[in-house]
Amino acid sequence: AQSVSQHNHHVILSEAASLELGCNYSYGGTVNLFWYVQYPGQHLQLLLKYFSGDPLVKGIKGFEAEFIKSKFSFNLRKPSVQWSDTAEYFCAVIETGGFKTIFGAGTRLFVKA
Amino acid sequence: NAGVTQTPKFQVLKTGQSMTLQCAQDMNHNSMYWYRQDPGMGLRLIYYSASEGTTDKGEVPNGYNVSRLNKREFSLRLESAAPSQTSVYFCASLQGAPTDTQYFGPGTRLTVL
């Protein structure tokens, strides 16, 4: 069965620190990969996605993620976090051609001002 | 556009009661989803509807039924609520291809006593 692992459940950083959130998936075929974010009191919204082409994808608010097929990974990065990045981050996978979406358990990020 | 709307926002049920969670989208999207969000477990897919007239099981379908009433509406029914179904339920819609963005509703917080 497909699964998505997010390694860190809670991360605390100071402003201007660099961020990397891990995401690994288990699935033998080709996949589409997503990072969603849920800010306090708001709906989940898309940060970025990968489905083909350049494995380094850029999203909103300075976030980027790199798809490494050999490692089944899609880690999220940001060079310098802000207090406003405090949120919960979810990695998600859909098998190519399908609609069934599997989410990871999420990572709660708290950025200290 | 209201996007994805869910009713009710909050609900308290007693064990064994039934209820239906409503979801509607006004974006003319083809696919719709129901998830539950529990602490430490992320979002888990309950059911999805890739297109009007079709529904499929997700990761945790037991104890739930769904109806894709028309292109706009996708309801989730709990026939006999159990305390294990205490959760926050999210509905989402997706325009067409699995590479598209999912748009989420505000959620329904359900407590089963």
- What per-residue confidence (pLDDT) applies to B92? 96
Contact B90 A101 (CB under 8 A): no
Half-sphere exposure of A25 (CA within 13 A, CB side): 26
- Give the span between the Cα atoms of B103 and B93, in whole angstroms: 5
Comparing CB atoms, the residue among B31, B44, B106 nearest residue A99 is B31
Q: What is the mean pLDDT of residues A79-84?
A: 97
Contacts of B35 in chain A (CB under 8 A): 103
Torsion sign (Cα): B34, B64, B42, B99? negative
**pLDDT tens for each residue of B2-40:** 899 999 999 999 999 999 999 999 999 999 999 999 988
**Which residue spans within chain A are E strands per DSSP?**
3-5, 10-14, 19-21, 24-26, 31-38, 44-50, 56-58, 64-68, 73-78, 87-95, 101-103, 107-112
Contacts of A106 in chain B (CB under 8 A): 42-43
- Give the span between the Cα atoms of B106 and B4, in whole angstroms: 8
Length of chain A in residues, anyone?
113
Query: Does B1 score more than 80 pLDDT?
Result: no
- What per-residue confidence (pLDDT) applies to A93? 93
Long-range contacts from B60-65, C-beta under 8 angstroms, 24+ separation: B60/B36, B64/B34
Q: For residue A93, what are its two tokens?
A: 């996978």
Comparing CB atoms, the residue among B31, B101, B107 nearest residue A46 is B101
Comparing CB atoms, the residue among A9, A46, A94 nearest residue B98 is A94
Query: Does A1 score more than 90 pLDDT?
Result: no
**pLDDT tens for each residue of B70-109:** 999 999 999 999 999 999 999 999 987 778 889 999 999 9
CB contact set of A107 (below 8 Å; sequence gap of 6+):
A6, A8, A9, A10, A11, A21, A88, A89, A90
Length of chain B in residues, anyone?
113
Amino acid occupying residue A109: L
* Band (A28; pLDDT cuts 50, 70, 90): confident
* Band (A100; pLDDT cuts 50, 70, 90): confident
